[in-house]
Amino acid sequence: MAGVTDRPFRMLCKRLGAGHAVSEMVTSRPELRDSLKTSRRLNHDGETAPIAVQIAGTEPAMMAEAARYNIDRGAQIIDINMGCPAKKVCKAWAGSALMQNETLALAIVEAVVAACQPHGVPVTLKMRTGWCDAVRNAPTLARAAEQAGVAMLTVHGRTRTQGYAGRAEHRTVAAIKAEVKVPVVANGDIDSPEAAQAVLHATGADAVMIGRAAQGRPWLFREVAHYLATGHTLAPPSAAELQRWMTEHLHDHYQLYGEYAGVRSARKHVGWYARSLPQGQELRRAFNQLDSAEAQLQALAAHFERWAQPWPLAA
């Protein structure tokens, strides 16, 4: 979710029902801390607590220093990334590639926990079920991580070699939940309130994590929360709500990235939103041609003015 779950998007998701939102993956390499990309990822201005920062790397000492560095800049939870399947991350033996080396993975966990304990900052761990079908070692790593002091485990129900192909399996999550005492979070293919309830029932997990399904649909969090609390489906957002949320998101986005970069990176977010909007592809095509924040905001307002009545929200 790097490039997606930046501060503006996280803040919107929290306003719309997400109980917890983790930062984009932040490198542990100190020489990259002053880069524009990393500085934006470390910007938590106005973000509501708890502020959780996910770090990635391959060297225990460097990961420990990255944890301290982020704590000094407001992190209240440190999350270790052992789940990213991206080739450029795994090529450097970070992310889910660490699951191939259990000794190194555990050394990183121990170093980060030791760095965070004096500050009273909990450490969480995100991982996959394993590197490949033949090596589903998440339960082994989960037990070791719990012993090392990890406060919560999140498991995506695919191996690294699966990427995002096929369907997530949650049997491994259920097995981990049965063996550890710390909270366990299930992740993978949770794209509806019904799916969230089914995964919780099947795994016994303490919570679910939603990633890709929230792209362009951040109101999914409030739908899930409502369904789990009441057993009833929440009515779809109104046109006025959608316009307000999208407009607020764009304003926050431009503020973080500046107009030049913000206008260009906003296009992907509006493209995802467009999947839920009447004539959304028409908006996406027009929006992608615009080179100023003012023009993009005007295009969005015009689209809602045109399509607000009637308002058949797409599934």
Task: Assign 313 a pLDDT band (cuts: 50, 70, 90).
Answer: low
Residues 195 and 148 in one domain: yes
Instruction: Check residue 93 and give its pLDDT.
Output: 46
**Which tens digits make up the pLDDT trace of 237-263?**
999 999 999 999 999 999 999 999 999
| Number of domains, the chain | 2
Residues 225 and 91 in one domain: yes
Return the amino acid letter for 240.
A
Q: Give which of 112, 199, 121, 219 is closest to 154, Cα–Cα.
A: 199
Q: Which residue did the predictor score with more confidence, 20 or 90? A: 20
Model confidence, pTM: 0.91
Residues 120 and 261 in one domain: no
Domain that holds residue 55: 7-230
Mean pLDDT lowest among 89-98, 142-151, 202-211, 303-312: 89-98
**Which tens digits make up the pLDDT trace of 66-113?**
999 999 999 999 999 987 655 555 455 466 788 888 999 999 999 999
Residues 224 and 149 in one domain: yes
Computed over every residue of the chain, the mean pLDDT equals: 91
Q: Give which of 106, 179, 197, 94 is closest to 143, Cα–Cα.
A: 179
Residue 131, domain member (yes or no): yes
Residue 1, domain member (yes or no): no
Residue 74, domain member (yes or no): yes
Residues 123 and 223 in one domain: yes
Residue 313, domain member (yes or no): no
Residues 24 and 117 in one domain: yes
Q: Where residue 73 sits, what CATH number does that domain have?
A: 3.20.20.70
Element (DSSP H or E) covering residue 133: none
Residues 140 and 50 in one domain: yes
Percentage of the chain modeled with pLDDT above 70: 94
Q: DSSP readout, 151-207?
A: -EEEEEEEETTTTT-S----HHHHHHHHH-SS-EEEESS--SHHHHHHHHHHH--SE
Residues 250 and 110 in one domain: no
Residue 68, domain member (yes or no): yes
Q: Among all residues, which ones are annotated catalytic?
A: 84
Given 184, 206, 230, the domain boundary residue is 230
